[in-house]
Amino acid sequence: MLTIPRATTIEHYMSSTRNPAPNDVMSQPIGGEKPGAEVQLEKKGEINALQRYRYQKWQQNTIDSDPKFSCILLDTEEDLREIAQEELSIKNGCAAPGGNPTERLRSLNIKFWLLSLKWWYCRSNLDDFELRAFKLWRLNPRWYMHRALVEECIGRQGCCARACGCCQKREISPGRSLGVGHCTLKCACCQKSRGFEVSTMDKKQLKDQFQSCVKGPSHRVTRYRQVSIWGLVGDSEEDPSNMIDAPPSYDQVKKCKC
């Protein structure tokens, strides 16, 4: 049987046997704590280096660099954009004829709400390094006008491929801030420019293509995720915010000259 020396108080006994000393407690890392190197980069304000550091730590931490939650997050954002753009079409009287607009708006509102929850669950499941990088990058409300994402829109024949400037000036209400970004198949301006309706089967095929684009593995996936989540592109050490509304890249200029 355990005997406590008479001179020892219960408090002293408890602290000496079960609880580490206060200093030891503070030195034990808990989930979400930043390593010293990260804190230093934050203090220096070197955003590109900070995001790269977080990217590398995320790659080391993640089992097989499993990008599951960020992939679903990006796919969900595409769905949210689609709804926001369809709502705009209906409100501006540009929607395809047929159907009841009020009823359609009501069902889109429910869908948007459900997808917002899905987005939040995915965001909450990001690894700590990835989450901190994501939060920092998305602090900039114009993150989606990063040069690389504009190029993506051009490649997908969105409004950035024309002179209309819809992606820059699309009027997304504060309640639809999760739906900001480039054109989807529901962009009214793109629909008008195409001059034809994309069939349900083709829409599904394009959606599948987008999903495989964000789920990978491929170089395209890596680039798309890197810039959408982290604001990073492989050919630049610039602060990601300086690449927003930046002049066209070499690739783009070359394409225009062809």
Binding site for Zn ion (CB under 5 A): 153, 158-160, 164, 166-167, 182-183, 187, 189-190
Q: Which is nearer to Zn ion, 16 or 177 (CB)?
A: 177
Q: 184: Cβ–Cβ under 8 A, 6 or more apart, which residues?
A: 78, 81, 82, 85
Strand partners, 244: 146
Q: Which is nearer to Zn ion, 94 or 117 (CB)?
A: 94
Nearest distance, CB of residue 244 and Zn ion, angstroms? 13
Q: Which is nearer to Zn ion, 65 or 168 (CB)?
A: 168
Q: Which is nearer to Zn ion, 47 or 150 (CB)?
A: 150
Nearest distance, CB of residue 86 and Zn ion, angstroms? 12
In degrees and rounded to multiples of 5, residue 124 shows phi and psi of -70, -20
- How far apart are alpha carbons 80 and 116 in whole angstroms? 8
Nearest distance, CB of residue 197 and Zn ion, angstroms? 15
C-alpha angle 90-91-93 in degrees, rounded to nearest 5 = 65
- HSE-up (13 A, CA, CB side) for residue 66: 8
Q: How many CB atoms lie within 10 A of CB 52?
A: 16
Nearest distance, CB of residue 254 and Zn ion, angstroms? 20
